Each structure stands twice: as structure tokens, then as C-alpha cells.
Structure 1
Amino acid sequence: MNVIDNSKIQENDIDLGLLLSVLAGAKASPLIFYYDGKAVKPGYHVTEVKAGQFSGLDCGANPEAWAEIFIQLWDIEEGDRTHMPAGKFHSIIRKVTEHVQLDRSAKLTFEVSDGVRPMQLYCAAMPVLSAGAVHVTLSPRPASCKPRDRWLAEETSKAAACCAPQAATSGCCA
């Protein structure tokens, strides 16, 4: 049986609330996003923040519904600007909440473009405070099969319950 480590998936797909809580503790620190193996340029802009409620059918004909927040980054360099402070990013999101309802537990997707290449979709890893800056690695948002993902999560949960230290004496993992 192949089991995927879902903890890795979670770490690479944080929600808005988690991002904001980390940024709140490091407001003066530069916020640097990384994608495609490089850092965003110091003059990057947050050009748009969108919130959406989606519903549909997955490939197993199961109804799906979720909230998603899209943050658009324009990866440009302007003059002698530095990377945006985490506090400024936090303020931008706060300003958006005055006009748009943002679910802090919603799936978070970054749309990134340098203004030349087409926009690409990314999910965000857990922010890391290092060398006086907040670093957030973005990875391409892959397509997935929700019925398969649910099945894998269930199998992982069963395996964890069966083989946890307290269950070791039950004989299920012998």
C-alpha cells in the first residue's frame, strides 16, 4: 500500500490566517516570496486580492464547495525599493477586509507574473523567519483528484491509528 505523507501537503498549502499570524509577529521584517527557484524582485506589488466561494462536482460526481483567496503578485523591480515589509502586506490584507469578506481558513492561492510571462498559480509553504526577513516559498498548485485525495487521507488516518505507539500491542501492525 502506498501512503502519501499528508503533513507535507499541509505545510505547503497554508491558509490566510496562518500567514497573517506569522506576519503579525514580524511586521518590520522584509517579506520575500520565492517561486520557480528565485526570489521576487524588491519592487513587487500586491496588485489584487480576491475572495471566492466555489461549488462544483469532482471527477467522482461528488459535490464540492470551498472558499479560496487569491493574492496576485506582480514581480517587478522599481527604482531602489526594497522588499515589502511584512507589516505592509498585513495592512494591505486588512484594508481589503474593509471591503471584501475574507475567510481566514480559506485555501490560499498566489497568482504570480512578471508582467511578461503568463500568470501562474502557486500555493504557499509555512513562512520562515530567517536572517531578519520572512521567507515564503511558493510552489506550483497542482491539479488533484479529490476522491483519490480523500481515500489517501482516510488510508493514512487508518494506518496512523493502527500503528500509533498506544496501539502497538493490538497486533494490527505485527
Structure 2
Amino acid sequence: MQTADFIQLLETYPKRNLSFEYAPGKYVRADYHVTEVKNVLIEATDCGGRQDSWKETVVQLWANPEGEEPNHRLTSSKVLDILKRVSSLQPLMKNTPVKIEYGDRDFHTAQLNITGHRLENNHLIVSLGVEHTTCKAKDRCGIPEVVGNNAQECAPGSGCC
């Protein structure tokens, strides 16, 4: 999802409590904070020597490990207000993919893609998912584009990766 699409989603459901589902049935605690919004420029070189660059927006979420804050709940409009405040100081790159960064004691810190959303009661639930790593120079490293689902095919030394 692009940053502009995420903003539009928040604008569409302003009074809903905003929840993030980082794995099926697992949610960022309801009293999370938006702690940082990052405009990110990535300049990369793959193992085959091909250079690439792209931009992303990263919204970082945090839940206080000291315990739940019962009076702290974010609505879509509150998160939208935070994004507007950020954009007034550091304009958001609206035509870039948006990622949600989150981690806690039970879930490793990761940048997650928005994979969908749904409405449940008074909540706008944003579903998150992982993007798996891959070899970006398969064509130059002799790695086939399609890899089977058999675990033995991807064993160390199998040529899978």
C-alpha cells in the first residue's frame, strides 16, 4: 500500500479505533504509540553487482513494556493528526510504499507491509504481513526463478539459495 492510500484509509474511517494485526489473530497492543515516521531512501547493490534504489515510508509503533495504558487508544483521526504534524515538518513521500515497523517481547522487530484492512465493530483493523527475502541476482547466479515447496529442495547445499 502506498503512503497516500494509507492516509486515505485513515480519512475514510476517522472515528474508528485503529488496530494493527501483525500475524493472524495477533495484534499490536491497543495502547500503542506512533513513535516515529521515517522517509527512507534505500540504495542497494545485490550480490550480482546490480545497483538499485527506492524510497519507503516507515511508521514505527511502540507499546510500553511496563504495562498497558488503559486510557490511551488511537483512532484513525489521531494517527492522521500525527502524520499531518510530521508532514508539516518533514513532508511525507506519498507515492512510496508504507511499512509498519513493530516489535515487542513476543514478536521480533520487523518492517511489515500492509496487506489489507477490515472493519470490526468500532475498529479499523489493518492487516500486516512479511515480505520474504530473495536473491535479486538469480539470473546471474544460476538460481532458478521458481523454487519448489519441498523442504528438502531448500536444504543447505541444495542450490536453492
One fold, TM greater than 0.5?
yes
**TM-score, with normalisation over the residues of structure 2?**
0.73
AA at the equivalent of 2:49: A
Contiguous gaps of at least 5 residues in structure 1: 1-13, 149-174
The Cα RMSD (Å) is 2.5
| Number of the residue aligned with 1:151 | none
Percent identity between matched residues is 24
- After TM superposition, give the deviation of residue 126 of structure 1 in Å: 2.5
More strand by share: 2
Tell me the equivalent position of 1:122: 112
Q: Structure 1 residue 90 and structure 2 residue 80: aligned?
A: yes
Q: 1:70-93, CA deviations, whole angstroms, 9 ceiling, x for partnerless residues?
A: 111113453323641000111111
Bigger drift between 38-47 and 81-90 goes to: 81-90
Contact 1:109–1:121 under 8 Å retained in 2: yes
Trace 1:1-174 onto structure 2 (pairs within 5 A). Answer: 14-37=1-24, 38-76=26-64, 78-81=68-71, 83-114=73-104, 118-146=108-136
Query: What's the secondary structure of 2:95's corresponding residue?
Result: coil
Stretches of structure 2 lacking an aligned partner (at least 5 in a row): 139-161
Write 1 or 2 for the structure with the bigger share of helix. Answer: 1
Deviations, residues 119-147 of structure 1 (Å, cap 9, x unaligned): 22211112223333211111123213345
Number of aligned positions between the proteins: 137
TM-score, length-scaled by structure 1? 0.68
Counterparts of 1:128 and 1:100 in 2: how far apart (Å)?
30
- SS of corresponding position for 2:14: coil
Amino acid of the residue matched to residue 49 of structure 1? V
